[in-house]
Structure 1
Amino acid sequence: MQPSTTFSKRLRQARERAGLTQTELGLRVGMDPSAASPRMNQYEKGIHEPPHAMVKRLAEELGVPAAFLFVDDDRLADLLLLWTELGDEGHEKLLRYAKRQVKAQE
């Protein structure tokens, strides 16, 4: 079954990228062991969306910005994943580059 929402698609993508099972992820974010797998499965199928505090915990555990879990555009999602791999200096360089590109198009 394909994920039915952007959130469910991105959550599954991030979980698989991290090499975790649904149960492992659920346990890492503090879910009860008996509910971890079913709850994560519901999130990934788009049946339920977690509250904001849980979204933040999931994103942190998966090493992605919370925004990644909601972005529709695949290129922007890729950029957000790259952002997590850059340090502060890389963030500054990327921002300067993007600003130059915008300015050049004006």
Structure 2
Amino acid sequence: MSFASRLRQAREQAGFTQQDLAKKLGVTKNAISNYENGVSSPKWEILVEIFDILHVDPNFLYQDDFSSELAEAHVLTPQQSTLLAAFDQLNDEGQTKAVEYVEDLVLTGRYKKHPASGLDAKDA
């Protein structure tokens, strides 16, 4: 369920029509309709008032947005985890050398992923 549909749900549970909420917020009924249909988003000041008027927790309205952001968060592969663990064991000079070495590997092109296909350059 999206922010827009949760906003509509919260408004209806509070017993407000779009017109009622619009009047309390000092916006048009059309603005409320746009918020509830995902056409536009309320400004921060209006959003804070919505939380207060509807007695709704921001986490309720945005929970799907937070969940999708977490789902899109980058998860390290086992190889990346191994590389980072080894990197963390190096002193400053060793870390600098490791970064330089990896940059050199990329610059040669031989070990660089092929941009269009995701294949390694040696496989392309």
- TMscore range, shorter length: 0.5 to 0.7
Q: What amino acid is aligned across from residue 72 of structure 1 in structure 2?
A: D
Return the offset for 1:67: 2.3
Return the offset for 1:27: 0.7
- From 1, 11, 16, the equivalent of 1:15 is 11
Q: Say how many residue pairs are matched.
A: 65
Match of 1:69 in 2: 61
Structure number with higher relative contact order (C-alpha < 8 Å, ≥ 6 residues apart): 1
Q: What amino acid is aligned across from residue 64 of structure 1 in structure 2?
A: V
In the superposition, the TM-score normalised over structure 1's length comes to 0.56
Larger Rg belongs to: 2
- From 41, 48, 56, the equivalent of 1:56 is 48
Instruction: Detail structure 1 runs of 4+ shifted over 2 Å in the superposition.
Output: none
- % of aligned pairs identical? 37
Q: What amino acid is aligned across from residue 53 of structure 1 in structure 2?
A: E
Q: Return 5+ residue gaps in structure 1 as ranges.
A: 74-106
Q: Which has the higher helix share?
A: 1
Pairing 1:1-106 to 2, within 5 Å after superposition = 6-31=2-27, 36-72=28-64
RMSD: 1.7
In the superposition, the TM-score normalised over structure 2's length comes to 0.49
